[in-house]
Amino acid sequence: MAEQSVAIELDEVTKRYPGQREPAVDGFTMSINPGEITIFVGPSGCGKTTTMRMINRLIEPTSGRITIGGEDTLSLNPDDLRRRVGYAIQQAGLFPHLTVAQNVGVVPGLLNWSKAKTTERVDEMLALVGLDPGEFAGRYPRQLSGGQQQRVGVARALAADPPVLLMDEPFGAVDPITRGNLQDELMRLQAELRKTIVFVTHDFNEAVKLGDRIAVLGDRSTILQYDTPEAILANPADDTVAGFVGAGASLKQLTLMRVRDVEMAQAVTATDDESPATVRQRLEAEGRRYALILDARRRPLRWVHFRQLSGSSMAGIGRPVGDQVSIQSTLQDALEAMLTEGGDAVVTGSRGEYVGTVQLDTVVTKIRELREEHAS
Amino acid sequence: MTLWEFVGDRWSRLAIEAYQHASVVIQCTLIAAVIGILVGVAVYRSPLGSIVATALASTILTIPSFALLGLLIPVLGLGVAPTVTVLVLYALLPIVRNTIVGLGGVDAAVTDAARGIGMNRVAVLTRVELRLAWPAILAGMRVSTQMLMGIAAIAAYAKGPGLGTEIFSGLNRAGAANATNQALAGTIGVVVLALVIDGLYLIIARLTTSRGIRG
């Protein structure tokens, strides 16, 4: 049943409403990559939702062409088209008179799946979005929290395994903590499913977090910039985009990069069995002031300043290493560790062993490089 | 003869009339429900249509039932035809109004999601909108039934079926033997029937409304 990822092409798509001089969407042309999350982000009323709703023909385009996986959507029956395109919206839009299982099973039902196959699929979907089928299948939407309703909404959208998923501010109506969890969940799902997802939001931070590509839209759904989050953050196309990106673009950049993406430095390391004099010699040879003490399994223990190396034993001297980061951590986490530690951030590998340090200079240089790279 | 003795004496006749009374009211409510829901479905998306349909149904309700019945006799004759016509017309307003209100009250996000996941117009209406509007529609039918219980008694004026026959006959013979008992038996019969059917409505509402939307 799993279909391959499909691309979506929009070609000169225009929507005019009768009695309005300006079109709501004006000549929108865009290629949406298969298997990626593409975010439409823009201010309220810019036409981003209208544009998305033309993809599954909830709104019929006045002119232009939309193809999904090469197939012209206008050549299909709109109801058949929509059964093949997942759709999740703000407030979830669950059917209040149906149980969770019945809600998720609606599209398989419309596609005439057998009862057994539908039941199996419903359980699979609920488990996929992190809801225990045994506990939730028989509940009604009003017995769920906002976040749970949203999960059911996503499960319903994915039930018939559509290659394309349209999401219209799906996490707009839940509290910030739940929203963060749902975003993480979506990224986890997407890593597994590789759907072609079009996601509408007005929250730029959400766009940066979730998007493989972001389309920043202005009035009448004009594309102000369509690029990767890194590129938009590093080099906003114009003042409007810059305004939308908002303050702290460089800090947002840091959330997109991992420690493994930058060059690590090596600290002078030592163990507790060594004599302070030897360690002191090594520090002087390297021209450093601090040494990092590791345990027998090379896990970082303490930072020791060379002035502390005057006694006869290493035991008990120095300052314990507090915050450390892993090579998977974001550069933002690394920066946070630097600020709390007041120096280089210690990086550990998968078993907690020391692998290197990240220095403030490295982070600064990386940001500068990114800006230069995207400036062309 | 006391009222009890009168009822005992005339039981078989009263029972038949009570049955006919209930039968005509229920059947007329059902006919009105079909017409009313169709009208409601036809107009609920248009604000103007909704206003016109509700206004028309309200106008019917303002005509005194006795007058309407009398005016229909020359056209439809006596008996069942004018009775059913009058009852159906009076039952329309609560049903039409509640259908419009019920359908209009369905959350737009829910219908949008229904369309978005591939339900066609008919499926959205029958599988989502009408299901959600059902408690309101049923409440309208319940009000209509209560109203028709009283109006059906007046239909005896046009030789319609039901307990109204006893009431009219009793009142016409006022002063004669058992005249009061007869009118009282008819009246109390209507009240008892109305209460019984109202109880049935509660059971029906419970059985036909999803637990997810039960208040």
- Counting beta carbons within 10 angstroms of the beta carbon of residue B203, is it exposed (0 to 12), middle (13 to 18) or buried (19 or more)? exposed
In angstroms, the CA B126 to CA B115 distance is: 13
pLDDT tens digits, one per residue of A155-200:
999 999 999 999 999 998 888 888 888 898 898 889 888 999 999 9
pLDDT reading at B9 higher than 70: yes
3-state secondary structure string across chain A: CCCCCCCEEEEEEEECCCCCCCCCEEEEEEEECCCCEEEEECCCCCCHHHHHHHHCCCCCCCEEEEEECCEEHHHCCHHHHHHCEEEEECCCCCCCCCCHHHHHCHHHHHCCCCHHHHHHHHHHHHHHCCCCHHHHCCCCHHHCCHHHHHHHHHHHHHCCCCCEEEEECCCCCCCHHHHHHHHHHHHHHHHHHCCEEEEEECCHHHHHHHCCEEEEECHHHCEEEEECHHHHHHCCCCHHHHHHHCCCHHHHHHHHCEHHHCCCECCEEEECCCCHHHHHHHHHHHCCCEEEEECCCCCEEEEEEHHHCCCCCCCCCCEECCCEEECCCEHHHHHHHHHHHCCCEEEECCCCCEEEEECHHHHHHHHHHHHHHHHC
CB A156 to CB B117 under 8 A? yes
Which residues in chain B touch residue A80, judged by CB atoms under 8 angstroms apart? 118
Q: Which residue of B has its CA nearest to A53?
A: B116
CB B113 to CB A97 under 8 A? no
Which residues in chain A touch residue B213, judged by CB atoms under 8 angstroms apart? 96-97
Q: Which of the residue ranges A306-310, B95-99, B191-195 would you say has the lowest mean pLDDT?
A: A306-310
pLDDT bucket at A253, cuts 50 / 70 / 90? confident
Looking at residues B1-18, what average pLDDT do you find?
A: 90
Q: How far apart are the CA of B209 and the nearest CA of chain A, in angstroms?
A: 8
> Which pLDDT value is given to residue B92?
94
pLDDT tens digits, one per residue of A22-59:
899 999 999 999 999 999 999 888 999 999 999 999 99
Looking at residues B164-190, what average pLDDT do you find?
A: 90
Q: How far apart are the CA of B132 and the nearest CA of chain A, in angstroms?
A: 7
Short-list B54, B207, B47, CA closest to B138: B207
Q: How far apart are the CA of B110 and the nearest CA of chain A, in angstroms?
A: 4
pLDDT tens digits, one per residue of A77-124:
999 999 999 999 988 899 999 999 999 999 999 999 999 999 999 999
Short-list A156, A211, A155, CA closest to A183: A211
Q: Are strands A71-72 and A8-15 parallel, antiparallel or unpaired?
A: unpaired
In angstroms, the CA A206 to CA B43 distance is: 42
Give the A:B interface size as CB pairs under 8 Å. 74
CB A95 to CB B109 under 8 A? no
pLDDT reading at A128 higher than 70: yes
pLDDT reading at A376 higher than 80: no
Q: How far apart are the CA of B127 and the nearest CA of chain A, in angstroms?
A: 10
In angstroms, the CA A304 to CA B210 distance is: 69
> Which pLDDT value is given to residue B1?
78
Q: What are phi and psi of B178, to 5 degrees?
A: 65, 10
Percent of chain B with pLDDT over 70: 100
Q: What are phi and psi of A44, to 5 degrees?
A: -55, 140
In angstroms, the CA A173 to CA B175 distance is: 73
Percent of chain A with pLDDT over 90: 54
CB A94 to CB B110 under 8 A? yes
Q: Is B213 on the interface with A (CB under 8 A)?
A: yes
Kindly provide the ipTM of the predicted complex, given to two decimals: 0.85
In angstroms, the CA B101 to CA B124 distance is: 17
Which residues in chain A touch residue B132, judged by CB atoms under 8 angstroms apart? 96-97
pLDDT tens digits, one per residue of A222-231:
999 999 998 9
CB A97 to CB B131 under 8 A? yes
Q: How far apart are the CA of A145 and the nearest CA of chain B, in angstroms?
A: 14
pLDDT tens digits, one per residue of B55-90:
998 898 899 988 999 999 999 988 889 999 999 999
Q: Which residue of B has its CA nearest to A54?
A: B116
pLDDT tens digits, one per residue of A320-351:
988 888 888 888 889 988 988 888 899 998 88
Q: For chain A, list residues whose CB is within 8 angstroms of any CB belonging to chain B.
A: 56, 58, 79-84, 86-87, 89-99, 106-107, 110, 140-142, 153, 156-157, 166
In angstroms, the CA A154 to CA A91 distance is: 11
pLDDT bucket at A2, cuts 50 / 70 / 90? very low
pLDDT reading at A289 higher than 50: yes
User: Looking at the partner chain, which of A56, A94, A141 has a beta carbon nearest the beta carbon of B116?
Assistant: A56
> Which pLDDT value is given to residue A40?
96
Which residues in chain B touch residue A94, judged by CB atoms under 8 angstroms apart? 110, 113
Q: Is B10 on the interface with A (CB under 8 A)?
A: no
Determine the residue type at B198: D
Q: What is the pTM of this model?
A: 0.80
> Which pLDDT value is given to residue A60?
94
